[in-house]
Every structure is written in structure tokens, then in C-alpha cells.
Chain A
Amino acid sequence: MDVDLRTRVLPARRGRWMPAARWVPRIGGWSVAGLTALLCIFLFVLPVMVVALSSVAEHWSGTILPTGYSMRWFERLGSDDWDAVATSLEVGFSVALLGTALGLWIALSLEGRDRRGMGAVVDALAMMPNGLPSVVLGLAVLIAYHKKPLDISGSAAIVMLVQLALVLPFCYRCCASALRPELQILREAAASLGAPPARVLLRVVLPQMVPALRASVALGFALSLGELGATLTVYPPGFATVPIVVVGEVERGYYLPASALSLVLLAVSLLALCLIAARMPGRLSQSKS
């Protein structure tokens, strides 16, 4: 009955035989979507896959795919390479933690202030490294701290300092975006029930911000691991990070060892992202809805 009615009222449209005029655009739509997918994979996914593929290649030049696969480039990673990995990890973790702490502090202090006067100045300052060329910031830090009154150009501190400045805007924005109006209501409720500010912070605000803090640490870590321009400008001998070693090898033409080391870098960075931020997406989408 129902079916009869529909076929009578809407002939051809819902029927099994669609006219060509409706088929053609649908095929067109599919092919457009397919082309988009191919283009995206070709442009964005392929480079990431190439790092993985080239690091296990026996030899890859003048052929479409590598000729032979082996782990020998990983086995040949020398003590210099592992030193660079250790330096990168050390710097990355300190920068991520310091950046998150500083970002959290700024975000909490600026929350609820209208963006004028002091608040605007602090906000602009904290976000400024986002717009600075990394080489320029590196050069500025090198000029400021390479001789007296304060000379830290011989230690890893100068690398951490410059990376901290570069990572800060991301951490700050991560924390600030977690301070939603709902959280303000919770804070006021806790305060009106007599909780002192420190307790409100520790028991109400921070637990609510855990996903954002984890995201901030993960982002800071990943950005620090991949930072090149500023680090290359300031790094003291003996404190080369992985990107510096990789670029050095690429410039000398050692492509396959370089890609083995970059794969180690990518794996560490991805592992950290997964470990730190594994539960972030679900929590974030929950809190948004």
C-alpha cells in the first residue's frame, strides 16, 4: 500500500531505473571525492610513508621502490646519533613541562580579564613567539646570552630557553582553551562553599584541565623535538639535537642513515603523543558537547 502510493506519487525518482541525468552527476561526485582523496594521500600521506620506507631500504636511488630491505641503517646508528636522541628527549621533556607550567600560569592569570591594559600586554607577549621567525629568536637569544653578564651559551640551557619561548604560545593557547565558562561556574560554586583559592585550584580546576595539560605537554614535546631553526643558531658543541644531525647528514648526502634517524625521531614523538594524549580526543569531544 505504502509502496504503491510512493511509486505513484513520485515516479522515476525513487524507482529502480534512474534517468541518466541523475546518474551522471553522482558518478561525477564520486570521482571528485576519489580525486580529492588521492590528492591528499599523494601530497600529505606519501611523504610520511617515504620516511618509513627509506629507513629500511637497502638502497634507493634510480628505482621506483627500494631495492632490498634491511635494518642495517638502524644498526649503524652510532653513539653520536644516540647522544642526539638523548639530548632531544632531555630538552623536549624539560621544554614541554616548563612550557605547560608557564602556559597554565598565564592562562589562569588572564582568565576572565578583559583583553585590555596589562592583560592584553601579557597575552600579546606570550603569543608573540608564534609570529617570530625561529632563526631571529635564536639569534636574539644568542646575542643576549653569549657573554657577560649572563653566559649560558656553553650549556643545554640556551637551547631550552629558546625552545621554551617558541613552544610557550602553543601551551598557553592549549590551557586557555580548556578554561571554559562552565569551569568558572564550578569554581565559583566551590569558592562560595568556603574552599580557599588554593584548594579550588588543586581540587576543582586542575583535575578538570588534565586533558588540556596532557595535550599541551604532548604538543610542546613534539614541537621541541622537530625544532630546527632556532636550535641550529644557538646550540653549543656537544648538544646537537636530532634535527641538526639529520640535516647535517642530508647536506652531506647520507640520505638513508638520515632517514633511519628521522624515523627514530618520528617514532619517539608519535609514542609520546599517544602516551600523553591518548585519552584526549574523547574527553575533549565529551566536554564540548
Chain B
Amino acid sequence: MEITKKVLKVTVNGRPYELLVKPKTTLLQLLRNELGLTGAKQSCMDNSCGACTVIIDNMAVKACSVLAMQVNGKQITTVEGLAKDGVLTPLQDAFLRHSAFQCGFCTPGKLMSATAMLQETPNPTEEEIRRDMEGNLCRCTGYKQYIEAIMEVAQKKEVSK
């Protein structure tokens, strides 16, 4: 069966792309298989774990549940786009200092969810952080150290305000 590919224009981590994609290709497949950006991970395959979270414009979205064609004309940020010029973002740095990851498989998804949250709500309470991170499953950390890492960044923002 002939499948018609469509033209997709998208910006990923600041780079513009013009690509031919199959209609049923998901954003996650596009990132991982076509662009070689393997930071976003596939784990649950049913939109429940958050390991594939990326930022579309300013919103954290699970890339497994979005078709590539749906992001036409949009700005995508993946974990590979966080650190700039060899410098970690404050959130990445806090994750590092708080030992907020273990196996690291779900870490990119968490970083993207938390980055989007802190953009929208610069000074969340711990409860707000826990609620917001509901969609990101983790089996290694017990959530303790990375919630602390996000809290630290949130509080620093408050101080610098």
C-alpha cells in the first residue's frame, strides 16, 4: 500500500527542519528515528509514564501521544537542547548536585516536565511540584531527591526575584 508522506516544517532545539514524514509517525518516532535525538525515551507505550516528555512551544507534552504532523510550525525542545555552550541549566545542575537520578532513563522526561513547569510557575510549592510531576514515573529514585532538586531551583528563583 502506498503511503503518502507529507511535508513537515518544525524547529527542534533551535534548528529549523523541513522533513517528509508518514502520517502515522509520532513525534517520538520522528525525534528518535529520523533526527537521532534519543534523549526522549519510549517506555510505557500508552501515554502513562512521561519518559518521552518534550516541550512543544512552552508546554510539556508526551511525544509518544502526538503525531509528528501535529507539530507543524512549532518549536520543540528536547533534553539535548537544554544545556547551551557546555553549560547546564540551573535545573540540570541541581539534578546533578542532588543526585536526583539513578538509571537515568526517565530523567530527560522529568527535566522537560520540570523545565516547562518552572517557566509557567516560577515559584511552585512542593505540593504543586509533586502534582505537576505526577505524569513522570520513576522507579529508581523514590522521587525524593529530584523533588528536592526542583524545589531548590524554585526557591532560588524566588530569592532572585
Same complex origin of A and B? no
Q: Interface of A with B (CB < 8 Å)? A: none
Q: Interface of B with A (CB < 8 Å)? A: none
